Structure 1
Amino acid sequence: MEPFGEYSLGFYSVEFSQDGREIVAGCNKNSIYVYDLEANKPILCIQAHKDDVNTVTYADESCHLMYSGSDDHTCKVWDRRCLTSVTRPAGVLVGHLEGITFIDSRGDGRYFISNGKDQTIKLWDIRKMSSTTTASKAKGQRIPTYSWDYRWMDYPGVGKDHKHPNDHSLMTYRGHRVLRTLIRCYFSPVFTTGQKYIYTGSHDGCVYIFDIVS
């Protein structure tokens, strides 16, 4: 499938469904695709964000809910049972000041974490999500913006400790460096750790582990 012309469609994130029948993918055309592997064709295309979709994942094994993160700084929740020809997210979660590089679901359809180019990991509860209209309002406060490219520049906002005025996240974790590539983050295994930790790579060559319980 080449809906935008040869070589123009690039995918940044691909994940299998729990039953192995589908894959969900995020691309550089601001869109999310769901592919039926048995039918060998796309069954859903969502014009999801205002910029590249760097990461997308299923919320749980049911595959009804999906989470996406974009260079437009937002995380969105999608309920496939409610999607129509005019696709709108079930909700939006704001708090990152820069683009989102990766999302990992806890697998319970409620919590997920995201890595951002603002050099933070955020923990989210989708019960705190807002509508698109509400999320876009900044209560008259200015959100800082910088002209930079994470692929070859250092983040100019490091150490300034800005916070989004409508931050929906439960917790923010700092210390690692999200530069040069789409750095990932994950919950620790449920059977050995009870998912009490978050771990992430970093541009400085280290692995950072955060205790989300304490």
Structure 2
Amino acid sequence: MAHAPSRALALRAPASRPALALALGAGLLLAPLPLLAAGSSSSDVSAPKCENGQVWDDKSEKCVDAQDSRLDDDSRYEAVRQYAYAGELDAALVALAAMSDQQDDRVLTYRGFIARKQGDAETANAFYQMALRQNPDNILARSYMGQGYAEAGRMELAQAQLSEIRKRGGRNTWAEVSLRLAIGSGKGFSY
């Protein structure tokens, strides 16, 4: 993985180039993040194809209402992910509300994410806790919860979530790397 060589580069850089070496190291460390944004292994982090909470329907090749019966929850979830990545939180909520199982851990995780991005940490944590009761191995919920803790300066709680992610097989995933960086910077990610 690129993490160790980039740190070694930064540590061995000549005194006249430490800023360049640090920038290169940080760039190599952050490079994989957009590829795995918002908990997906997909490299598709494109802008939403639709607007106002509508969802792209591959069969009809057009945007349809999120409640359209031709859609499956995976299509809706992809739209939620794209809207959230683009910062279109109200549109993400529209698509999220159309999901068939409102107690699904993915739905609860994104409800928490949106609440956190809207500045409501208490509600966000309640949703993350519900998601983790449904699926204790939901490393995305753990990462988002930990990022919220890091943003609030509660590093011991953020670190506890990082440890849980690693124990649950999430080492070197976007969830683990983004939380580790949030702990280091005190700032979470918007996707």
TM-score by length of 2: 0.28
State the structure with bigger RCO (CA 8 A, min sep 6), 1 or 2. Answer: 2
Higher strand share: 1
Specify the structure having the higher radius of gyration (Cα). 2
Higher helix share: 2
